[in-house]
Amino acid sequence: MPGTIICYGDSNTWGHHPMPDGTVTRYEDDVRWTGVLQECLQGEFRVIEEGLCGRTVMFDDPVAPDRNGRTFLNCCLQSHQPLDLVVLMLGTNDIRHIFTPSVMEIGLGMQTLVKMARNPEIFGENYVPKVLVITPAPVRKEIHTSDFYGMYDEESVRKSELLDQEYHRALKDMKEVYFLNAGEIAEVSKRDCIHFTEEGHAALGKAVAEKVRELFQ
């Protein structure tokens, strides 16, 4: 019986196409990194995609409801258990201009999500899944050319470049928690400076597949 992986993320897990006018257009199933991951694993695991545009680590969005990643995660985990691996790729929406957290606070928020994902009260002591935290790729420095400028600014760029270091610091003492940095793997489009190119999705999907095999060999 194949194992189960859930990928819990934001618009870059949902598959937002970086259209120059900000139009929400979604990449096809087999183009999104989760679809590439499923193909690469060749039936060894079932990949469940749980991406939502605007999802945050910890904030309630006053404009778009139901975007707080913390409030839905527990229900999501229970719905899809048993799970072998929970993949978390969040943080880009927390650095938007409307929110003003420090990078340390975002790291603490991710720590809370990881604790939820490894809560034995949900899964039982013998079935707690491993967790893979993927640091989102940084916002491009050319954000001032994007239709998303205003939602994101130069301070957002600075914070996005610090997230990987902070996630490692916040989670370093937690068991069965592993890391990838999407910024080292996946290309972000020059068109909107936030969302992956098609090539970025392909590269990330393949990299996550390699990591999964490493974790479960």
**pLDDT, tens digit, for every residue of 136-154?**
999 999 999 999 999 999 9
Half-sphere exposure of 212 (CA within 13 A, CB side): 29
Interval 194-201 mean pLDDT:
97
The pair of structure tokens assigned to 127 is: 């079935």
pLDDT digits (tens, 9 = 90+) for 152-182: 999 999 999 999 999 999 999 999 999 999 9
Peptide bond into 101 cis (omega under 30): no
Confidence at 56, pLDDT banded by 50, 70, 90: very high
Confidence at 22, pLDDT banded by 50, 70, 90: low
- Of 161, 162, 137, 142, the closest CA to residue 153 belongs to 142
**Burial state string for 179-189 with b = 16 or more CB within 10 A and e = fewer than 16:** ebbbbebbbbb
- pLDDT value at residue 194: 97
**Which residues, other chains included, contact 28 with Cβ-Cβ below 8 Å and sequence gap of 6+?**
15, 35
Interval 173-194 mean pLDDT:
96
Half-sphere exposure of 199 (CA within 13 A, CB side): 5
Specify the pTM. Answer: 0.96
Q: Is the dihedral of CA 89, 92, 98, 101 positive or negative?
A: positive
116 vs 109: CA distance, rounded Å: 11
CB 7 within 8 A of CB 47: yes
Measured between alpha carbons, how far is residue 157 from residues 2, 45, 102 in Å? 39, 35, 13
CB 37 within 8 A of CB 210: no
- pLDDT value at residue 104: 98
- pLDDT value at residue 217: 86
Confidence at 210, pLDDT banded by 50, 70, 90: very high
Measured between alpha carbons, how far is residue 159 from residues 103, 128, 142, 154, 171 in Å? 6, 31, 15, 9, 18
- Of 212, 206, 198, the closest CA to residue 15 belongs to 198
CB 49 within 8 A of CB 10: no
- pLDDT value at residue 116: 97
Interval 24-45 mean pLDDT:
95
Interval 178-189 mean pLDDT:
97
- Domain residue extents for the chain: 3-215
In the predicted model, what is the mean pLDDT of the chain? Answer: 95
* 3 state DSSP class of 146: coil
3-state SS, 23-88, equals CEEECCCCCCHHHHHHHHHCCCEEEEEEECCCCECCCCCCCCCCCEHHHHHHHHHHHHCCCCEEEE
pLDDT digits (tens, 9 = 90+) for 80-132: 999 999 999 999 999 999 998 999 999 999 999 999 999 998 888 789 999 99
CATH superfamily of 3-215: SGNH hydrolase (3.40.50.1110)
